[in-house]
Amino acid sequence: MKVILVGFGVIGRGVIKVIKKKREYLKKKYGMDIKVVAICDSSGAAIDERGLDLDLALEVKRKKGRICEYPGKGVTLPVTEVIRSVEGDVLIEVTPTNLEDGEPARTYIIEGFKSGKHVITANKGPLALYFQELMSYAKKYKRIFRYEASVGGAMPIINLARETLAGNEIIEIKGILNGTTNYILTKMEREKLDFDTVLKEAQELGIAETNPYQDISGLDTAAKIVILANSIMNMNVTIRDVKIEGISRITPEALTMANKGGYTIKLIGEVKRNKLEVGPKLIPLDDPLNVKGSLNVAKLYTDLAKEVIVVGRGAGSIETSSAILSDIINIYLQTSRG
Partner 1 sequence: MILLDLELKDSPGELLKALTPISEMGINIHSVIHLREKKSDGKVPVRIVLEDLDEETLEKIVERLEESGIVVTKVNNKVRKMDIDVVVIGHVVDTDIRDTIDRLNKYGLVVDLDLTMPHPFKESSARMRIIVDSKNLEDLCREMEKLSKEKDLLFIKSF
Binding site for ligand NAP (CB under 6 A): 6-12, 40-43, 79, 94-97, 104, 122-124, 149, 153, 315-316, 320
Q: What binding mask, one character per residue, do residues 275-304 give for partner 1 by CB under 8 A, x or -?
A: ----xxxxxx--------------------
Binding-site partner at residue 295 among ligand NAP, partner 1, none, CB < 5 to 8 Å by type? none
* Near partner 1 by CB under 8 A: residue from 261, 304, 337, 338: 261
Helices (H) and strands (E) in the chain, counts: 12, 13
Identity of the residue, 81 or 287, whose beta carbon is nearer to partner 1 in the bound complex: 287
CB atoms within 10 A of CB 124: 26
* Near partner 1 by CB under 8 A: residue from 45, 185, 222, 258: 258
274 belongs to the binding site for partner 1 (CB under 8 A): no
- Nearest Cα to Cα of residue 329 among 150, 148, 93: 148
Identity of the residue, 189 or 215, whose beta carbon is nearer to ligand NAP in the bound complex: 215
Are the beta carbons of 79 and 6 closer than 8 angstroms? Answer: yes
Identity of the residue, 34 or 242, whose beta carbon is nearer to partner 1 in the bound complex: 242
* Near partner 1 by CB under 8 A: residue from 49, 56, 257, 273: 257
Closest contact distance (angstroms) between CB of 234 and partner 1 is 25
Phi, psi (deg, nearest 5) at residue 207: -85, -40
249 belongs to the binding site for partner 1 (CB under 8 A): yes
Closest contact distance (angstroms) between CB of 245 and partner 1 is 7
Binding-site partner at residue 148 among ligand NAP, partner 1, none, CB < 5 to 8 Å by type? none
Strand ranges for 35-169 from DSSP E: 35-41, 44-47, 74-75, 90-93, 118-121, 145-146
Closest contact distance (angstroms) between CB of 47 and ligand NAP is 14
Identity of the residue, 171 or 329, whose beta carbon is nearer to partner 1 in the bound complex: 171
38 DSSP β-pair partners: 4, 47
Are the beta carbons of 159 and 241 closer than 8 angstroms? Answer: no
* Near partner 1 by CB under 8 A: residue from 53, 69, 133, 245: 245
224 part of the active site = yes
| Residue 294 CB-density burial (10 A; 0-12 exposed, 13-18 middle, 19+ buried) | buried
Residues near partner 1 (CB under 8 A), total = 20
**Could you give the CA distance from residue 143 to residue 116 in angstroms, rounded to a whole number?**
7
Three-state DSSP string of 12-61: HHHHHHHHHHHHHHHHHHHCCCCEEEEEEECCEEEECCCCCCHHHHHHHH
Identity of the residue, 111 or 189, whose beta carbon is nearer to partner 1 in the bound complex: 189
Closest contact distance (angstroms) between CB of 41 and ligand NAP is 4
Phi, psi (deg, nearest 5) at residue 74: -85, 140
**Could you give the CA distance from residue 331 to residue 118 in angstroms, rounded to a whole number?**
8
**Could you give the CA distance from residue 148 to residue 180 in angstroms, rounded to a whole number?**
19
130 DSSP β-pair partners: none
6 belongs to the binding site for partner 1 (CB under 8 A): no
Identity of the residue, 260 or 337, whose beta carbon is nearer to partner 1 in the bound complex: 260
Which residue out of 22, 61, 73, 224 is catalytically annotated? 224
* Near partner 1 by CB under 8 A: residue from 232, 265, 315, 324: 265
**Could you give the CA distance from residue 111 to residue 106 in angstroms, rounded to a whole number?**
9
Identity of the residue, 284 or 293, whose beta carbon is nearer to partner 1 in the bound complex: 284
Closest contact distance (angstroms) between CB of 66 and ligand NAP is 6
**Could you give the CA distance from residue 166 to residue 159 in angstroms, rounded to a whole number?**
9
Residues carrying an active site annotation? 224
Applying CB under 8 A, the residues found at the interface with partner 1 are 245, 249-251, 253-254, 256-258, 260-263, 265, 279-284
